[in-house]
Homo-oligomer: A and B are copies of this chain.
Amino acid sequence: MAVDDEQLDRAFTALGDPVRRAMIARLSRGPATVNELAEPFPITKQAVSRHIQVLEAAGLISRTRDGQRRPCHLEPTVLEALTSWIDEYRLETERRFRRMDELLRTVQEQEK
């Protein structure tokens, strides 16, 4: 579960592309081959193949073998690491906002 800084780099940038995000969405419903993943997009299979390599290098998907096919499987672990990273700072910020509100209300109380 140890996701280092470079892993976060790769995972976040991997998700910063609409084609790759659509692939993630597709794979959440089940495994798919390169050809299946390529179908919705007006780009070459080679380009799709490289998007897949990016997702794999980011640890977001894994691949198995089925004859001449190489099905892709979504790996939820790194996705969870991303939400953990985000939530740490989002929640800290929201806590800070609440403390500010609290303080503001206290000051207003004393001004009366």
Q: State the A residues within 8 Å of B (CB).
A: 5, 8-18, 21, 24-25, 27-30, 74, 76, 79-80, 82-83, 85-90, 92-94, 96-97
Of A29, A83, A94, most buried by chain B (CB within 10 Å of CB) is A83
Identical subunits present: 2
Of A76, A87, A97, most buried by chain B (CB within 10 Å of CB) is A76
Q: Does the CB pair A16–B16 fall under 8 Å?
A: yes
Among B5, B18, B88, point to the contact of A9 (Cβ < 8 A): B18
Bound complex: CA A79 to CA B8 (Å): 15
With a cutoff of 8 Å between Cβ atoms, the chain B residues found around residue A14 in the complex are 16
Q: Does the CB pair B30–A96 fall under 8 Å?
A: yes
